[in-house]
Amino acid sequence: GENVEQHPSTLSVQEGDSAVIKCTYSDSASNYFPWYKQELGKGPQLIIDIRSNVGEKKDQRIAVTLNKTAKHFSLHITETQPEDSAVYFCAASGGASKIIFGSGTRLSIRP
Amino acid sequence: NAGVTQTPKFRILKIGQSMTLQCTQDMNHNYMYWYRQDPGMGLKLIYYSVGAGITDKGEVPNGYNVSRSTTEDFPLRLELAAPSQTSVYFCASSYSSQGSFGNTIYFGEGSWLTVV
């Protein structure tokens, strides 16, 4: 089955700098890669997703890149702000199969 | 906007006790899920349902039971609680299959369960 590894587990960046979170997946049949943000005391919320026929997708300050050959995908947050502090989860799935989540990255933005 | 509502928010159980975590959604979603999240870990699927009357096991179903009598409700029952079931539980729902592109999974706010 699918296995998703996520790095780093914790990340601290200066406000205004960029943050990058990386994930690798094992199942070459996976074709859908969402990212979720979980704020303290809340459930995860979808922030961006990408399909395997696209290499990059951007939405304001966040972007996701996908390298199908290497089976890895990354989340990029530019011009980080205090409200970006949260736990971020990557995930992967193939067609109708269930989503497998990474173990999460705790992002802290230093003022 | 209610979305996915789960209760209780916090609960302490003694070993061997039983309880039910309630979950309801008002988005008319067919698919519903229960996840557990252990400290520093990702989300593990316990059970899921693709519609009323249909349930199936996820990655970590042992020690749990579910039912889906209506589209809206998907309760999770813990029988004979054990310390290993100490975790945060999330109920979630989606319109179609998890693996579908553009199919957002909506999560509840979580239930913190401690078994002592």
Q: Vertex B39, ends A12 and A101: CA angle to 5°?
A: 80
Tokens of A32: 């859908």
pLDDT of B97: 75
For residue B47, what is the nearest residue in chain A, using CA coordinates? Answer: A98
Q: Is the CB of A89 less than 8 angstroms away from the CB of B43?
A: yes
Task: Report H helices in chain A.
Answer: none
- Decide which of B1 and B93 is more confident: B93
pLDDT of A96: 60
Sign of the Cα pseudo-torsion (A44, B40, B9, B57, in order): positive
CB nearest B109 (choices: A43, A89, A98) = A43
CB nearest A51 (choices: B98, B101, B110) = B101
State what percent of residues in chain B have pLDDT above 90.
Answer: 82
Task: Write out chain B residues lying below 8 Å of A46, CB-based.
Answer: 104-105
CB nearest A101 (choices: B43, B97, B109) = B43
pLDDT in tens, B10-66: 999 999 999 999 999 999 999 999 999 998 778 999 999 999 999 999 989 999 999
Residues A61 and A77 sit within 8 Å (Cβ to Cβ): yes
Residues B21 and B79 sit within 8 Å (Cβ to Cβ): no
